[in-house]
Structure 1
């Protein structure tokens, strides 16, 4: 696993832990109505970010736009 993958994996795990904590607060009957709107918005944002990151992991990284690079020629520089 590359360093960037490890960092992204730990970031996704952090987001999942945040999502769990936010869910506890949003669905707790003791949460004040004043705080509920902000918590609900944040929960929605975190859930969307998790989905985007997980979808990006599934997308192949090579040839995303359908074009291929040509062979490198230093004389063209």
Structure 2
């Protein structure tokens, strides 16, 4: 997780945080008073990841390709 944070890889950092918080939520040793805020943050991270994936998909769909030169002989 520290590598993702140092490199500025937002998606990787969110994935690591999501896994870590999910682990804490499932841990029977996690104090009940913390479950609400951990669960809320887990849901927020999940939404942030989905938004990043949608943005990446839109960006991939708008990849421009260079047109080939027009060749009148090809007609």
Query: TM-score band (shorter)?
Result: 0.5 to 0.7
Which structure has more relative contact order (CA 8 Å, sep 6+)? It is: 1
Counterpart check, 1:55 vs 2:54? yes
Which has a greater percent of helix? 2
- Structure 2 gaps of 5+ residues are 1-6, 64-75
The answer for the alignment partner of 2:43 in structure 1 is: 44
Give the CA RMSD over aligned residues: 1.7
Question: How many residues get paired?
Answer: 55
SS in structure 2 of the partner of residue 48 of structure 1 = helix
TM-score (norm 2): 0.67
Counterpart check, 1:33 vs 2:38? no
The answer for the alignment partner of 1:19 in structure 2 is: 18
Deviation, 1:55, is 1.2
Cα distance between partner residues in 1 of 2:31 and 2:25: 9
